[in-house]
Structure 1
Amino acid sequence: MTIDKSNCPVPFDQQPLNEYLSLKKNCLFSWSLSRVKIFIYGFLLIFFTLFLVMGSLLLPFVYNYSIFKILSLNLVVSSLLLLCVFIRLYLGWSYILKRLLSATIFYEESGWYDGQVWVKTPDYLTQDRLVGFYQIMPGLVRIKYVCFILIISFLFFLSCYRLL
């Protein structure tokens, strides 16, 4: 599924399809595009791991607080860190999606000073758009929804922390 160098002047690592394949090899990024059940289990695993680690790090500093205030502070910090992880996922996949859906590709052959633009042929454009729409777009929509839920939960936990 890689692009042949003879038909494309873009360096191998800067070709959108190859960028997609290399990002998909990353454990965190490949998890974000997996099936819904695996995605939810991974989400819960990351959240509870962050919750336990942040709880053990915060406990020595806030031992004078009530247990509910410590718990709500832990939830605030854990949801904020998880939101940062999902923002990173969103930014990575949206960059690849933008390059896959674009009809032109900006690339640099040897450095920052010699940028060029390559117009994709219809075959490459069709292949890239199919990958973008059917492989990345559903995962990107899922990541958006999770970010929205995490923002709401962060604000809720923050308000609970302030009330206590």
Structure 2
Amino acid sequence: MSVCPVPAEQQPLRQYEELTASWFFRWPSTSFAALSRRLAQGWLLLLPITLLVASGSIPLRHDVPRLFAAGAVSALVLPLLLLVRQWLGWTYVHRRLMRERITYEESGWYDGQEWEKPLEWREKDLLIAQHQVRPVLGRLLRAISVLAALLLWGASLCQAL
């Protein structure tokens, strides 16, 4: 068996371990309820700021239900952006775990090399991708769907009021 030429920080398993150790990327790794709590906390922290900004609008200032609806919908944007960032990070690692070859850079000059994973690496990476990363991606997709639906519902509510 040959020695792995891929730098440690570019190995898919190492990248997975870094994600699971990260405070931010660990949110969706436990449960949907835990992820929802984190997103709700972010929404609640942002809500007073968005209400303050929305109150700068003279028509909204005199229409309290629309003011609150506009502020609440606007506060959903940050949690949605956080979810998209997490989705991108987890999808990147999932894709690298699923591939049979590892694309890596030996230097900072973008010299794109590829190294074929040994069979035992592939098996381990596939197991982690299927049983650890896929459930996280499922929770993220569910949360993104819920937030997108809330955004659309809130926007239609703002129009209806």
Give the alignment's TM-score, normalised by structure 2: 0.89
**1:61 positional shift:** 4.5
1:13-162 maps to which residues of 2 (within 5 A)? 13-61=9-57, 64-162=61-159
Amino acid at match of 1:142: R
Amino acid at match of 2:113: Q
Aligned-partner Cα distance in 2 for 1:52–1:64: 14
Aligned-partner Cα distance in 2 for 1:21–1:80: 29
Which digits, 9 at most, give the CA deviation of each residue in 1:106-128, with x for residues without a partner? 10100234211010001111111
Aligned-partner Cα distance in 2 for 1:113–1:142: 34
Which digits, 9 at most, give the CA deviation of each residue in 1:18-51, with x for residues without a partner? 1111122221110111234422322322222222
Which digits, 9 at most, give the CA deviation of each residue in 1:73-94, with x for residues without a partner? 1122112222111111111100
Q: How many residues align?
A: 159
**1:158 positional shift:** 0.7
Unaligned runs of 5+ in 2: none
Distance 1:72 1:13, change over 3 A: same
Aligned-partner Cα distance in 2 for 1:38–1:113: 38
Unaligned runs of 5+ in 1: 1-5
Q: 138-147 or 61-70, which moves further after superposition?
A: 61-70
Q: SS state of the match for residue 114, structure 2?
A: strand
Contact 2:55 2:61 in 1 (8 A): no
**1:97 positional shift:** 0.3
Contact 2:69 2:157 in 1 (8 A): yes
Give the alignment's TM-score, normalised by structure 1: 0.87
How big is the alpha-carbon RMSD for the aligned residues of Structure 1 and Structure 2?
A: 1.8
